[in-house]
Amino acid sequence: MIEGYPWLLPVAEQWQQQRQQGRLGHALILQGPAGVGKSLLADWIVSRLLCLEGRGCGHCKGCQLLAAGHHPDRYELAPEGQQIKVDAVRGLISQLAGTAHQGGARVAIIHQAQRLNAASANALLKTLEEPPAGVYLVLVVGPGQPLLPTIVSRCQRLVVPMPSAAAIEQFLGEQGNALASWAYWPRILGGPLAIRHAVEEGKLDQLATLRQGWQRSLNHGLLDPVLSQVDAEQAPTVLKVLYFELLSQCEADPQQTVWCYPMMQKVAQTQRWLDRQTGINLTATFQQLIVEYRRGAQEGA
Ligand SMILES: [Zn+2]
């Protein structure tokens, strides 16, 4: 289940040890960057908790029900749109108040738990503190708003780190051949699963085109045609591409950091500003960033 994802194994081992030592809590936060396989690990943990032999044997009733995709004691909650709504949390809590169908543990996975809003997080607190007997909650937490401290303090926490460039390269195999600059792509896309998805969807080519567009624009001081066709929906990605292009430049030439770092902050500010506004003239906004870059490059040189 997680064998093909070697970077998950140490985290799984950590969980296993906590369990063997009887230190397993009833609420777990599984945290990490996008695209590193947090949900796969959550499924693996669930498979251990719901196996009647406790080890994902593959033969018991629990394992068979899980494999068939309808174990009645496995619950799941995910955001609707941007948030996990309070009604959805209340629904889950009332389901968990019953008894186990299979007489073993019951497990609820809450996906993208960073999208719990204040009301839904508060609704969950009591269950996290005193879960019904045999109930385990796994909160899968990706990048975004931090969880409320009151939630965090009631949970154990395991972190799935971003694997090394070498591990990502090995995982992608031939699919990785398209990636010229290793430091760059995980920053833009996330972990190996997200990169593989982007390769398969052809998204990588689009991003590479945008990056080249920025490189030409910054070199020549004029907005490249590739960037003048960008619409509001693409704008956050386009600015992210610029941000990490600037970071790559700083890393290649640390002296550039003096003027390039403020420039990166400016890009991040622009990104937040675009988030809140509509009807922005993107071409003018991008051109302005290019002008500032050129000014910085000339004064810094
Ligand atoms: Zn089993």
Question: What is this model's ipTM?
Answer: 0.99
Ligand 1: centre distance to CA 30 (Å): 23
Distance 171 CA to ligand 1 centre (A): 28
Q: Do 215 and 284 share a domain, yes or no?
A: yes
Same structural domain, 150 and 265: no
Same domain as 51, residue 132: yes
pLDDT averaged over every residue in the chain:
92
Ligand 1 geometric centre to CA of 56 (Å): 5
- Decide if 29 contacts 116 (C-beta within 8 A): no
On whether residue 234 sits in a domain, the answer given is yes
268: domain range?
202-300
Last residue of a domain, one of 159, 191, 218: 159
Count of structural domains, the chain: 2
Average pLDDT of the segment spanning 174-199: 82
Q: How far is the CA of 59 from the centre of ligand 1 (A)?
A: 5
- What's the 240 CA to ligand 1 centre distance in angstroms? 45
pLDDT(161) > 90: yes
Is pLDDT of 178 > 80?
A: no
Are 137 and 208 in the same domain? Answer: no
Residue where one domain finishes, among candidates 159, 192, 222: 159
Is 176 part of a structural domain of the chain? no
Residues 53, 146 share a domain: yes
- The enclosing domain of 116 has a CATH number of 3.40.50.300
The verdict on 121 and 209 lying in the same domain is no
Distance 51 CA to ligand 1 centre (A): 4
Average pLDDT of the segment spanning 220-240: 92
Average pLDDT over residues 184-200: 88
Average pLDDT value for residue range 234-252? 93
Average pLDDT on 254-265 reads: 91
Ligand 1 centroid, distance to 64 Cα (angstroms): 7
Beta bridge partners of 137: 27, 108
Do 41 and 152 sit in the same domain of this protein?
Answer: yes
Give residue 100's pLDDT. Answer: 82
Q: Is residue 188 part of a domain?
A: no
Q: Same domain, yes or no, for 30 and 98?
A: yes
In 60-202, which ranges are continuous DSSP H helix? 61-68, 86-96, 118-129, 149-152, 165-172, 184-189, 192-201
The answer to whether residues 146 and 261 belong to one domain is no
**Pairwise CA distance, residues 35 & 162, whole Å:** 9
Tokens encoding 174: 């031939």
63 CA to centre of ligand 1 in angstroms:
4
User: Where does a domain end: 159, 189, 216?
Assistant: 159
Mean pLDDT of 107-128: 95
pLDDT of residue 43: 97
Ligand 1 centroid to Cα of residue 26, in Å, is: 20
